[in-house]
Amino acid sequence: MSLQANLIKTLLKHDNYEIYGPYISKHHFSREDKKDFFYPIYETLSGFHKENESDISLDDLQSIHLSSLEGASKDRRDAIAETYETIRHVGEDAASNSDAAKHLLTTLKRKHKAGEAIEVLLAEADNPSQENWIKLKDIADDAVTAADEEEIFYTTDITVGDEDYQASMRWKWFDPTFNEAVKGAGPGRNCLIFALTNVGKTSWATFNAINFMKQGAKVLHFSIAEDSKVALLRRYYQAAFNSTDTQLDQNKEMYAEKFAKMYGDKLFLCPTDSLTVARAEQLIKEVKPDIVVFDDYKDLELGYKGETKAPKIYGVLAAKIKALSIKYNFFAVCCAQAADTATGKQILERTDIADSRVDIPAKFEYCIGLSRGANQSNNIRYVSLAKNKKGVEGVHFGYAIEEATCQWRIA
């Protein structure tokens, strides 16, 4: 119980709530009988911070909470009042004598440890015990040790580590000429694929993901409010086997067995209606992928309460994806929408990226624009390098695409 009480105390401060809220779920405060535990307090606290940018005292929180319970039974009001008393006197708890709140903050600051902390909080919500606190303290101590051991400064000798840097671009795009222009794909890098609707962002990403897997890469594909699980898997089957929908429907078992044998341990699909940065990080940590596809990356959520999708947020999301790619050593493929200025153009530029005014391109090693060109051909696509840190920009490559089979070929 002390962990939840310390969380409430910590989250009374607006800044703390903004920082740690994305890593804490209301379910960490729930019990089977929600009326008698911390769940309603957390709901009230969330509501307050959503409307206010100031801190709140425990007394004011209790007052707001109880005033919202007019008409509630006396037993419920008494149970909630007792819970506030628990929070007030949690310092008398044996578990809190070593400052559980401080250790919890330490853990959550080390975001890669947040997943481990949350597992302990879930256990504590189920069955409060001193053992859970000890586990949390150990996680926090490990986080502090990891922070102390991080290499803050780097050598001035370019020969140190340069061989690893050059070799790290280990994954090759399917077109050797295009691959040479971007110098491959590797850990800690990220690219942006942008196009108008139905031009082929997901198709291009999927086809190349199959190509990367053939080279031994492990791929994690987040489809955020885009394709369903079945639709996304069918795209991968088509890209892998050059098969049409009709062929897939007629030979489902055969294709399923063949695909599982070839890519069963290399492909992880995550179609979802919503995804936060924190949840994505948990899954990345679990899968340990070489390639991560974010489609559409602008639908990724920071996890803040009351978050609005202002254009400036997209640059923040891109920066967070970049940080994750460095931290977990993967290559990020981000898909996003092109602006209306891309209509009818063959070579797309940085300004043709939707919301490019917030300098989204600056967050990526290279930006790949897909277009049908002026003739709007159904089976011809032009891939433009709108940004390329490794080489020339403004060049384009022509491809023929078989939309029915998700196959891309050099035109």
- The answer to whether residues 123 and 132 touch, using CB atoms and an 8 Å cutoff, is yes
CATH superfamily for domain 166-410: P-loop containing nucleotide triphosphate hydrolases (3.40.50.300)
Residues of the chain with pLDDT under 50: 1, 92-98, 147-150, 152
pLDDT of residue 40: 79
Indicate the domain borders of the chain.
2-149, 166-410
**What pLDDT was estimated at residue 93?**
46
Sheet of 396-402: strand order equals: 267-272, 219-224, 291-295, 331-337, 190-195, 366-371, 380-388, 396-402, 407-410
Residue among 284, 278, 385, 397 at smallest CA distance from 332: 284
Rounded CA gap, 116 and 67, in Å?
A: 36
Helix, strand, coil percent content, the chain, rounded in steps of 5: 55, 15, 30
Give the pLDDT confidence of 131-154 residue by residue, as tens digits. 776 777 677 666 655 544 445 455
Q: Using CA atoms, how far apart are residues 64 and 368, in angstroms rounded to an integer?
A: 52
If one counts every other C-beta atom within 10 angstroms of the C-beta of residue 94, the result is 9
What digits encode the pLDDT tens for the residues 152-190? 455 566 665 555 555 567 789 999 999 989 988 988 889
Beta carbons of 392 and 407 less than 8 angstroms apart: no
C-beta separation of 10 from 16 below 8 A: yes
What's the distance, CA 238 to chain centroid?
Answer: 26
Question: What is residue 96's predicted lDDT score, i.e. its pLDDT?
Answer: 42
2 Rama sector, left if φ>0, alpha if ψ -120 to 50, beta otherwise: alpha
Query: Of 189, 188, 185, whose CA–CA distance to 170 is shortest?
Result: 185
Q: What is the pLDDT of residue 101?
A: 57
Asked if residue 221 lies in contact with residue 209, where contact means CB atoms within 8 angstroms, the answer is yes
Q: What does the pLDDT read at residue 129? A: 72
